[in-house]
Structure 1
Amino acid sequence: YIYTETQKLIKKFGTRDPFKIMDQMHIIVGETSRYKRLKGYCFMSCQSIYVMISSFLSEEEKKIVAAHELGHIILHRSQLKMAPMKDDTLYSMMDNTEYQANLFAADLLLDDTDISDLVQNEDLDYFGLCSSLNSSPELMSFKLYSLTKRGQAYHMPMEIQSNFLAK
C-alpha cells in the first residue's frame, strides 16, 4: 500500500519532488540549525503541518529527509497530532513507522522504470546504478526491497542499513 500511496501523490501533483508536493499540500517547510544530530521532524499545530529539516545536511540528504517526513505525514498523520515525529537516524528497521517512511521515501524518489532500464546495462554495478539515479546505496536498498516485495526480482547487493544518515 505504501507504493500505491506514493503513486497517488506523484499522479496528483505531477512530481516526485517532496518539496514541491509539500508546497502544493500547504505544508510549511523550514530548516533548522538548532540540533546537530536531528535530521528532521514533522508536527501538527493549529491544523497546520510543519516539517523542519537540518541545515547541516547536503542537498541530497535534505531531499531524502523531506521525502521521509512526507511519508510520516501521509502514512502516520494521526500520530502527528499526539507528538512531533523526530528522526535522528533514518533508515531504521527497528521501528515500523520509520521503516514505512523509508519505503515511502524510496518509492517516491526512485522510479521503477528508471531502475528497470538501467539494470539492463551489464556494465553498470550497484554503485553505478545508485550514482546514475543520484541515490544513496541505502535508499536504493529500500527501493529494491520494495520492488522485490511487489514481485519483481532484483539482487540485493547490500543489507538495508539502519543507521546510514547517522554517520
Structure 2
Amino acid sequence: MQRKTIRKIATNLVKEFQTNDPIELCECLGIPVHYNDLGKNVMGYRTNLFGVSSIVLNSRLSSTEAKYTCGHELGHDRCGHEDNADYLRKSSLYSRILYGTEYEANCFMVELMLAENSLDDYVDTKEGVLQSISIPMWAAPYVDWTYVKKELLTNQMAGSNI
C-alpha cells in the first residue's frame, strides 16, 4: 500500500471521529481492545478471526506505549492485512523494516499520531517533532520527513504577516 493511501486512511479516521487516539478509534470502530500480561517482549497483537478484529495490549505498557502499540495494531486492521495474528515485539522496534505489513502498520501509527496535530508550534528538529507528538524515537524511519517539512513550512507561512 502506498504511503499516501495510508495517510489518507488515517486522516479520514481522525476527521470522522474527531480523535487521533487509537484506543478511542477502536471503540468507535467496534474493535475490542483487551489488556493482558503478555510478558516482557510482546507489546501487543491484533487478531482477525472470521473477519472480526480485536487488539490485545500488554498490561505492562505505559499509557504512551499502549497508545502507539494500539495505533500500530489498528494499522494492521485498517490496511487490510489478512494475517491471523500480528505481534508487535519490543525486539522488532529496532529492526528497520522498510516494506510489508509491519512497515505499513508503523507508517499508519505515525500518520495517525501526526493527523490531528498542528506542526506550527514544534521545533525545527526531527527529535523535537517526535517528542512533541509522542512518537517514539524508534519510529523516526517511518515518518515521511518530506511531508512533515512541507507542513511545517506551510504552517509557518500561514502564520506570518507577510
Q: Pick the TM interval, shorter chain.
A: 0.7 to 0.9
The question of 1:84 aligning with 2:82 is answered no
Q: C-alpha distance in 1, partners of 2:104/2:51? A: 24
How far off is 1:110 after superposition? 2.0
Please give the per-residue CA displacement for 1:125-161, whole angstroms capped at 9, x wherever unaligned.
5444433333322335533xx241688398xxxxxxx
Counterpart contact for 1:90–1:102, Cα < 8 Å: no
TM-score, scaled to structure 1: 0.73
Aligned to 1:42: 46
The 2-side partners of 1:51 and 1:101 are apart by 13
Q: What SS does the corresponding residue of 2:47 show, helix, strand or coil?
A: strand
The 2-side partners of 1:92 and 1:31 are apart by 25
Task: Answer yes or no: is the 8 Å Cα contact 2:11–2:112 preserved in 1.
Answer: yes
Instruction: Confirm or deny that 1:21 pairs with 2:25.
Output: yes
C-alpha displacement at 1:49, in angstroms? 1.5
Cα deviation, residue 105, structure 1: 0.4
TM-score by length of 2: 0.75
1:115 corresponds to which residue? Answer: 119
- Tell me, which stretches of 5 or more residues in structure 1 are unaligned? 155-167
Pair 151,134 (structure 1): closer, same or farther in 2 beyond 3 Å: closer
Q: Relative to 1, partners in 2 of residues 1:127 and 1:148: Cα closer, same or farther, differing over 3 Å?
A: closer
Instruction: For residues 14-34 of structure 1, give each alpha carbon's deviation from its aligned partner in whole angstroms, at most 9, with x where no partner exists.
Output: 110101110011101011113
User: What is the count of residue pairs matched by the alignment?
Assistant: 145
1:134 aligns with 2:134: yes
Q: 1:153 to 1:91 in 2, by over 3 A?
A: farther
Structure 1 counterpart of 2:150: 152
Distance 1:60 1:113 in 2: 16
State how far apart, in whole Å, the 2-side matches of 1:57 and 1:106 are: 18
Rounded Cα–Cα distance in structure 1 between residues aligned with 2:80 and 2:95:
16
Q: Which stretch of structure 1 is more off in the superposition, 37-46 or 9-18?
A: 37-46
1:68–1:91 distance in 2 versus 1, CA, 3 Å: farther
1:29 alignment partner AA: V
Aligned twin of 1:93: 96
User: 2:137 corresponds to which letter in structure 1?
Assistant: P
